[in-house]
Amino acid sequence: MSRIEATNDFVVKFANVNGSGSASANELFARAILRMGVPVSPRNIFPSNIQGLPTWYEVRVCEAGWLGRRGGVDLMVAMNPQTWDQDVAEIEPGGYLFYDATKPMPPSAFRADIHVIGMPATAICNATYDVPRERTLFKNILVLGALSELMGIEAGVIEKLFAEQYKGKERLLDSNVRALHAGREFARDHLSVQPFGLAVKRADAVGDRIFIEGNAATALGCIYGGATVCAWYPITPSSSVAESFEKYAAKFRVDPATGEKRVAIVQAEDEIASIGVITGAGWNGARAFTCTSGPGVSLMTEFLGLAYFAEIPFVVIDVQRGGPSTGMPTRTQQADLLCSAYASHGDTQHVLLLPEDPRECFEFAAAALDLAERLQTPVFLMSDLDIGMNQRLCAPLEWDDERRYDRGKVMTAEMLDAGREFARYKDVDGDGIPWRTLPGTHAAKGAYFTRGTTRNEQAIYSERGDDYVRNVERLARKFATAALLAPQPLVRAAAQKTRVAVVYFGSTAPAMDEALAALADAGIHIDAMRLRAYPFAPSVAEFIAAHDAVFVVEQNRDAQMRRMLINELEVPPSQLIKVLHYDGTPITARFITDAITRHVHTLATAPRSAA
């Protein structure tokens, strides 16, 4: 029987039970390989209950640096009988199954085309530990030890990670180290005779990149971007944005002289209250944000319409998950595009920023706070569970200490005293953005009353049709201005001229990068554009017009980005080809490559060299 043999290029998946303590050991496995200089891309797949249901942890090990899901599993560590059949089915032919052999398994439980490695982990722990909880926890470390021996992961690297994790808790440190070496010894004595072809070898392929979750990076971006108010209601997968913001604020937003906190963090009674808080804060001049997911956006739409029409700045961080309704709370999708872009009734449009990784989460969170004040409108940061709740390698986060916040058109008391005209909803320079004042700016000038109803340029209530038309047309001009101010799309030209292209965005980027390389190797050359914001920059329409067929890759059922491109740019629907992935798992390079290859082979406009 053939076997997979690979060094620093394979996929390992751990199948466990939620609440078993496996998460810590699984992360140690990924971090140990990373410490050996080999890039990893882990993904935690967990249920929405507290414990008892299946959970998986998938680790892509790739010295070449691909960070998206590849598809397929080379080594399955199957520790959950509930999911045995589906776990075994995922293994690539010639791959490996590592399992707890305490209880004998019938031959029918295995596949003839994979290699099986059994370790009686439960029996070893039962014989070694008296406390039931210790038996469960140290079984994971025992397995980690055995895998590290089989794969060549250095024990010293894991021991150093233990030392960092249990600093000041020597008893826990010593017991974990003993369990690790017990697993390594068992593998040396009993498993070394079995064929195993996956190996980790020291490399220098990580460079200066950092390992961070998108939600933590987003929170840090809000800190650096000047946010002073966070109001939120807990919802998976966005809660750790607010939790991280609170942690960072305790370090960076405390007056060193008085110990006074310089932020307001409110856990509201619901999503409606949370957005109400930031609406008031934004009107009052604070930089404010909330973090939520699709169900929260649904509840926030009335305040979003109010803020859009009254022109109040704040940021909504939408960490997307599977929908609709409660949907799949712990699975990822890009399915909130339409509900966020057009949230609220009437003619309403919101700015969306579309980060690809934690670094852009950091950059775009700060940029969103600037844009919200510059444009005087709500701005959405559209992350998702795959970016937000998984550790991801990315370039170091950078901040220019000379950077100053863009507060936009804010009229001061000095400007008012100098005789400047203040008309709250008047376009003075053609960009659609009026001047505003902050409460308390002047004792007698510059005050205005705002509401969600129609008004004239001086903020006086009006039901005149011409006042309404003037106002909403100005808002449309402001939205066009936003297309020039928001992060611009990035274009990657194919090695050969082609009339076929692909448009993608957000968390599809890592898999898309690898898919483009694989397609080029197969002779399929495609120009690529990564969207980074809505409204779409003028270059998006130009890019699409320059091609006969454009694939739109996204993670939702209804091709929401494709719909927006058709709706906003009036692109012929036949020109945009759907590539859709929406089962809740992150899209894979294999999925994209296969889908595009199938379509290209049927297109009359298949990639060809220009004459």
**What type of residue is 454?**
T
Residues 369-424 have pLDDT tens digits of 999 999 999 999 999 999 999 999 999 999 999 999 999 999 999 999 999 999 99
- How far CA 460 is from CA of 82, 284, 353, 426, in Å, comes to 65, 19, 33, 12
Task: Write the pLDDT tens digit of every residue in 413-467.
Answer: 999 999 999 999 999 999 999 999 999 999 999 999 988 999 999 999 999 999 9
The Cα–Cα gap between 434 and 428 comes to 7
Q: Which residues contact 393 (CB under 8 A, 6 or more apart)?
A: 34, 39, 40, 41, 67, 206, 209, 210, 211
| The two structure tokens encoding residue 462 | 């009006």
Question: Which pLDDT score, from 0 to 100, does residue 192 have?
Answer: 78
Q: Can you give the pLDDT at residue 50?
A: 63
Beta strands 378-384 and 314-320, pairing class: parallel
Q: Which of 19-23, 322-326, 557-561, 564-568 has the lowest mean pLDDT?
A: 19-23
Q: Is pLDDT at 22 greater than 90 in this prediction?
A: no
What pLDDT, on the 0 to 100 scale, is given for residue 609?
45
Give the Å distances, CA to CA, from 223 to 234, 366, 397, 503. Answer: 19, 8, 13, 32
Cα 278 → chain centroid: 23
pLDDT in tens, 27-43: 999 999 999 999 999 99
Residue 19 has pLDDT above 80, yes or no: no
CB 510 within 8 Å of CB 66: yes
State pLDDT tens for residues 223-280: 999 999 999 999 999 999 999 999 999 999 999 999 999 999 999 999 999 999 999 9
* Alpha carbon distance 363, 220 (integer Å): 9
Predicted confidence (pLDDT) per residue in 513-537, tens digit: 999 999 999 999 999 999 999 999 9
Q: What confidence score (pLDDT) does residue 451 get? A: 87
Asked whether the CA dihedral 189, 195, 196, 201 is positive or negative, the reply is positive
pLDDT of residue 51: 66
Q: In 3-state terms, what secondary structure has residue 209?
A: coil
> Once rounded to an integer, what is the mean pLDDT over residues 111-127?
94
**Contact assessment for residue 14 and residue 136, using Cβ atoms and an 8 Å cutoff:** no
Average per-residue pLDDT for the chain: 95
Q: Does residue 597 register a pLDDT over 90?
A: yes
**Cβ-contact 292, 384 below 8 angstroms:** no
How many angstroms separate the CA atoms of 67 and 453, rounded? 48
State the pLDDT at residue 604.
Answer: 53
Q: What is the pTM (predicted TM-score) of this model?
A: 0.95
pLDDT at 522: 95
- Range of weakest confidence among 117-121, 129-133, 293-297: 129-133
User: Given the DSSP bridges, would you call strands 490-492 and 500-505 parallel, antiparallel or unpaired?
Assistant: unpaired
> Tens of pLDDT along 120-165?
999 999 998 888 778 888 899 999 999 999 999 999 999 999 999 8
Residue type, 593: T
Report pLDDT for 174.
Answer: 87
Of the given ranges (146-150, 171-175, 321-325, 566-570), which has the lowest mean pLDDT?
171-175
* Mean pLDDT score, 562-589: 97
